[in-house]
Structure 1
Amino acid sequence: MFELAWPWVFLLLPLPWLLRWLLPAADSGDAALKVSFLGELETLAGRRAAIALPAWRQQLPYLVIWLLLVFAAARPQWLGEPLPLPTSGRDLLLAVDVSGSMDFPDMKWEGDDVSRLELVKHLLGDFIIERQGDRVGLILFGSKAYLQAPLTFDRQTVRTWLDEAVIGIAGSNTALGDAIGLAIKRLRDRPAQSRVLVLITDGANNGGEIEPLLAARLAAVEGIKIHTIGIGADVEPGGVLQRFGFNSGAELDEPTLRAISEQTGGEYFRARSSSELASIGDTLDELEPVAQQPAQARVSDALYVWPLSAALLISLILVANSLWHPSLQRLPWRRSGHD
């Protein structure tokens, strides 16, 4: 199907005539002698007078060039048949805690000690890439919550934004309620059965404007399912950190995370190691996809090159004609002042 992407460009068609009407006539500054018997003078000089073309025929090539340029600027294109896009209908938002405690290196990845955030990047990055056909988005939260990537089919970009997340970018506290509230704002306009939020944190709510349980109730009203993941290793009994009274997982508010999931029909997961977090990803893979309105796309072939090439070709012909055509060399504007 033929289509013009920018048909409004044709409003520029009368522009040359408007400029000619509005702008003053050009003055070369040279003296000119106007005579009414130029033809007789050329005959007496033994020359054949050039046959003058009507004014409209002289302007016709330039008119054609202008029409071709405007037509090319309107971006003509040929649209192919509509092709369906593969979509499962699932809209999945990931809310990742980037507060200061997520920098604690109590997790293992391939035999090395890594921080909690680094482990989330390794495992959830693969989880994002495998969501073929899903819309995936990313929220980063600390003292405040920010939408890092909106819901999109471009999963590679979402993973890149997750990989580039740094500790403290959103503040040092943990605003669980604000993260849920931002997710509600982004998911409420999506189909009712496809609103899913996965919330990953290692602490208790100690910042933000909204209480987590109140935000969970609002999410339940909007039909948003929230799966919560508490991350952080338990201190080994009798270990050095425990003897000093330190437990890296003590700040995790598991009752609140469980309540958030229960109110919204989701599940709560505890990730104490990389293997547990990986198994949680496998469980989340079993979320039932929901069909939504089928998306379609058309393959378009740009056609502007053809009118643009035609305009260039006519321009080159006019230039060559003015340089080499003998009759044009004898026109008054090409002769010297001695003629």
Structure 2
Amino acid sequence: MFELAWPWIFLLLPLPWVLRWLLPAADSGDAALKVSFIGELEPLAGRRAGVALPAWRQQLPYLVVWLLLLLAAARPQWLGEPLPLPTSGRDLLLAVDVSGSMDYPDMQWEGDEVSRLELVKHLLGNFIIERRGDRVGLILFGSKAYLQAPLTFDRQTVRTWLDEAAIGIAGGNTAIGDAIGLAIKRLRERPAQSRVLVLITDGANNGGELDPLLAARLAAEEGVRIHTIGIGSDAEAGGVLQRFGFVGAELDEPTLRAIAERTGGDYFRARLSSELKAIGDTLDQLEPAAQQPAQARVADALYVWPLSAALLISLLLVANSLWRPALQRLIWRGEQL
């Protein structure tokens, strides 16, 4: 179906005539005197004295160019058949801790020791890609919380931003409350049943300005459901944590559990890579929130055709003004010979 996106552009149609009426007349360049041998000078001037096209015919090419330019500016487009958009989904924000402690290599991935953040990247990357029909966003937090990727259907870009996250990029502390506050700000305008935050951290709140439990209460009032994930091996398990002198008491599980309970979410503890994967599978089973059904049409822009036609006519007018006098001079010289 053909459509003009901006049909109001045609209100500018009388603009050239308005400008001609408002601006002073330009010098036409016509001779002020009549001479008897004017006929001999006609070929040099490129026109015949006393013989001129009617005014409307002289202006016709320029009128056509102006109409073509207006048509191109009105954004003509061809709309294809309506295509359905996802009618259900969640608005899912992931808040990932990138403080210094997330660099501890106490996790396992395919037989190798990796840091906590690296494991989160491996497992959450696939989790993000599989959220078909969901808007997914990413918050990175340390001493401060930053929105790295807004809510979007472009899950591949969100995964790329997660893969590029670096330890300490947001500071060395852990501002859990600020991360929740930023998520509330981004989710409060979305449908009430689809506001979900998944918060992943390995520590206790020791930075930021907002208390985590106060932030959880505000989230509950705004209908934001928070699932919290505490990540890191137990100190009693030995291995890497003991070699680094980490005693395992940094994770504040009571606070994370309270945040989840106050907002209607769940708390998960991820000590192993298999546990973190199981958590992702559990989150996959959340009920999607119904949204308004919508349709979209693929629009093919057609402005290039009238714009090209206007350019072609303009080039022909310029060529005519440059070459016609020279051609007439050649004809005149041939007649003289």
Deviates more, 1:1-10 or 1:151-160: 1-10
1:145–1:323 CA distance, 2 compared to 1 (3 A)? closer
The question of whether the paired residues in 2 share the 8 Å contact of 1:199 and 1:227 is answered with yes
Q: Which amino acid aligns with 1:130?
A: E
The question of whether the paired residues in 2 share the 8 Å contact of 1:92 and 1:195 is answered with yes
Structure 1 vs Structure 2 CA RMSD: 3.3
Q: Which amino acid aligns with 2:128?
A: I
Fraction of identical pairs, as percent: 82
Q: Which amino acid aligns with 1:274?
A: S
Gap runs ≥5 in structure 1: none
| Residue 296 (str. 1) matches residue 295 (str. 2) | yes
Distance across 2 between alignment mates of 1:244 and 1:62? 80
Which residue matches 1:137? 137
Q: Which amino acid aligns with 2:90?
A: R
Which residue matches 1:187? 187
Q: Which amino acid aligns with 1:124?
A: L
Distance across 1 between alignment mates of 2:244 and 2:164? 34
Deviations along 1:105-155, one digit per CA (max 9) or x if unpaired, are 111111221111111111101100000000111111111111111111110
Which residue matches 1:88? 88
1:51–1:123 CA distance, 2 compared to 1 (3 A)? same
Scaled by the length of structure 2, the TM-score of the pair is: 0.85
Distance across 2 between alignment mates of 1:324 and 1:240? 85
Other structure's SS at 1:113 match: strand
Which residue matches 1:254? 253
Which residue matches 1:306? 305
Distance across 1 between alignment mates of 2:320 and 2:242? 94
Q: Which amino acid aligns with 1:22?
A: L
* Cα deviation, residue 77, structure 1: 1.1
Aligned pair count? 328
* Cα deviation, residue 313, structure 1: 3.8
The question of whether the paired residues in 1 share the 8 Å contact of 2:88 and 2:133 is answered with yes
The question of whether the paired residues in 2 share the 8 Å contact of 1:322 and 1:328 is answered with no
Other structure's SS at 1:299 match: strand
* Cα deviation, residue 215, structure 1: 1.0
Other structure's SS at 1:260 match: helix
The question of whether the paired residues in 2 share the 8 Å contact of 1:217 and 1:263 is answered with yes
Which residue matches 2:263? 264
- Map 1:18-29; keep pairs closer than 5 Å: 22=23, 25=26
Distance across 2 between alignment mates of 1:57 and 1:132? 60
- Map 1:1-339; keep pairs closer than 5 Å: 1-10=1-10, 12-17=12-17, 22=23, 25=26, 34-35=33-34, 51-236=51-236, 242=242, 246-247=246-247, 249-318=248-317, 329=328
The question of whether the paired residues in 1 share the 8 Å contact of 2:124 and 2:280 is answered with yes
Gap runs ≥5 in structure 2: 43-47
Other structure's SS at 1:35 match: coil
The question of whether the paired residues in 1 share the 8 Å contact of 2:82 and 2:295 is answered with yes
1:236–1:38 CA distance, 2 compared to 1 (3 A)? farther
Scaled by the length of structure 1, the TM-score of the pair is: 0.85
